[in-house]
Amino acid sequence: MDLGFGGEVADLYHRYRRGYPSGSIGACVDAFSLNGDDLVIDLGCGTGQLATPIASQVRAVIGVDPEPDMLARARSAAQDQGVAKVAWMVGSDSDLPLLRSLLGEQSVGAVTIGQALHWMDHEALFAAVDPLLRPGGGVMVVANGIPLWLQDSDWSRALREWLSDWLGAGPANSCGTDDATQQRYRQSLMTNGFEVSKVELDYADELDFDHLLGGIYSALPVDRLPAPEERPQLAAELQEVLRPHRPYVEQVPVRALLGTKVA
């Protein structure tokens, strides 16, 4: 199934999406005592924002994603950073049993899922992941901020309104970052026998208009992106709407759920 992450969206994602703060990588390393002998699987790895920085802490990472364009961008970004310890694999959450047989007796220190669990069957995933993990290893689910159109600020409210005029419906999707969804993930991890802790990191950062617009485009399915010739006009309109609400300060609440496999 084409989820719209291909083509230009992969590039937009790479250019405009935030990386993960080092504290979230550190939280994963600490919670599961990751070390140079460990393998990590990053499911829904996209352009590698999580997989690539984790690689420096472990033996190797397997980045898994159904979208080849995301993986191609991830591979070239990792190469640019001199990171060679990630294998990029076309696949999805339903491939965990296959990964299990590919790895044989080798278990992994962690399965990480950054900003992608809302695309997966989390109940089936949490139920299937245990045999892959070594004792003390676990699952990290991270929400990397909240969407630009759901911020509690005047510029974000104006953006919401403009987007609903443009797209014909108010964007409501929180991409799994809201409290109720986080609570569901936590409960499901516990039901499947994991000991769960949560790490919260909050920061704020000012966006320039280019990053604000690029961030919005990166969240659209590729077939909803405006044609290149329409973009200057759209950008001018949006800039006009948002200008009175500068500066565009984005609040970035990062929430990591850490489910440790109980021996």
Is residue 21 near ligand SAM by the rule CB under 6 A? Answer: no
CA 34 to CA 15: how far, in whole Å?
29
Q: Which of 29, 67, 122, 189 binds ligand SAM (CB under 6 A)?
A: 67
Range in contact with ligand SAM (rule: CB under 6 A) among 60-68, 97-105, 234-242, 247-255 = 60-68
CA 218 to CA 231: how far, in whole Å?
14
CA 250 to CA 153: how far, in whole Å?
9
Q: Which of 28, 40, 54, 70 binds ligand SAM (CB under 6 A)?
A: 70
Adjacent-strand bridge partners of 89: 64
CA 169 to CA 156: how far, in whole Å?
16
- Residue closer to ligand SAM, measured from CB, 38 or 93: 93
The pattern of x and - marking residues 113 through 132 that bind ligand SAM according to CB under 6 A reads -xxx--xx------------
CA 117 to CA 113: how far, in whole Å?
6
Tell me how far, at minimum, the Cβ of 132 lies from ligand SAM, in Å.
15
Tell me how far, at minimum, the Cβ of 219 lies from ligand SAM, in Å.
8
Tell me how far, at minimum, the Cβ of 209 lies from ligand SAM, in Å.
22
Is residue 69 near ligand SAM by the rule CB under 6 A? Answer: no
Residue 256: φ, ψ to 5°: -110, 120
SS3 138: strand
Q: Which of 3, 102, 190, 249 binds ligand SAM (CB under 6 A)?
A: 3
Binding-site ranges for ligand SAM (CB under 6 A): 3, 5, 17, 43-46, 49-50, 65-67, 70, 92-93, 114-116, 119-120, 144
